[in-house]
Structure 1
Amino acid sequence: MTLALGACATPPPMAAAPAPDRAAVLRATQRAADQVKRCYRHPKVSRAARLIATTLHVSYAADGTLIGLPEVVGQSGVTDETAVQASLMAEAARLAVIRCQPISLPPELYQRGWDDFELTFRPAGFA
């Protein structure tokens, strides 16, 4: 079973501190994705709806708890046939992020890349 989760760090609002090593940010966001995918519960949807990818914007406090609720910023793979089930896929992604807090990430990267990013859920291969 695989749940493909990708993470994309967004630049911090202010560049007061030097930017962290890009590889370190990518490792940290992948750690977040690995933690969150363990909390994902696939909704009861059609096989075709499992091709829907959902991207969420998430923000975390320094202790790894969410700041606000995850926000759906986009979905791909939605067809006329699966449009009705797109909201179920989005809710499953949101609940995974909520269930998995607090996440454990490097404190030295807080406000320098991992505190505010996007997670993309691609559960197509999930059994």
Structure 2
Amino acid sequence: MTWRTLTALTLALGACATPPPMAAAPAPDRAAVLRATQRAADQVKRCYRHPKVSRAARLIATTLHVSYAADGTLIGLPEVVGQSGVTDETAVQASLMAEAARLAVIRCQPISLPPELYQRGWDDFELTFRPAGFA
């Protein structure tokens, strides 16, 4: 099983981590991966600030590609790799949703990742923000 086939957790904010494909190293158990996924998402979601957008725009999900150094700081800036839920009505606000996701990742560095998983590619992954369910 590759890392990309693992189901990412959807949390209250909906921040999900999708780890990259693994190298030849033995895979950690699924429970460890799910705990690490939740841990990464929990750290970043605390820094998310809702932009002033319409209720419909809060249905937009934004996926970012992020890379981290061993100390948990970002290598470069988070890159928007996709958005879903964008309609004609919300297209103008999509950039605000993307920027809110990017700023959450920037604000929350350094991130703490489990060292045993970090060495297996957790320095480079995707986070998906689904703020529609966030209270």
State TM-score, norm by structure 1.
0.86
- Contact 1:4–1:121, Cα closer than 8 Å, also in 2: no
Report if aligned partners of 2:15, 2:129 keep a CA contact under 8 Å in 1.
Answer: no
Structure 1 residue runs without a partner (length 5+): none
Residues 2 and 44 of structure 1: is their aligned pair in 2 closer, same or farther, counting only changes over 3 Å?
Answer: farther
Question: Kindly tell me: are residues 33 and 12 of structure 1, through their superposed partners in 2, closer, same or farther at Cα, counting changes over 3 Å?
Answer: closer
- Aligned to 1:17, the other structure's residue is in SS state coil
Cα separation, 2, equivalents of 1:8 and 1:113: 16
Would the alpha carbon gap of residues 8 and 111 (structure 1) be closer, same or farther in structure 2, given more than 3 Å must change? farther
Is 1:69–2:77 an aligned residue pair?
yes
Percent identity between matched residues is 99
More strand per residue: 1
Question: Aligned pairs, how many?
Answer: 127
Q: Which runs of 5+ in 2 are unaligned?
A: 1-8
Greater per-residue helix proportion: 2
Q: Give yes or no for the alignment of 1:101 onto 2:109.
A: yes
| Contact kept in structure 1, 2:15 and 2:44, CA below 8 Å | no
Q: Which has the higher contact order (CA 8 A, sep 6+)?
A: 1
- Structure 1 moving runs of 4+ over 3 Å: 1-14
* 2:42 is equivalent to residue 34 of structure 1: yes
- Aligned CA RMSD, in angstroms, stands at 2.8
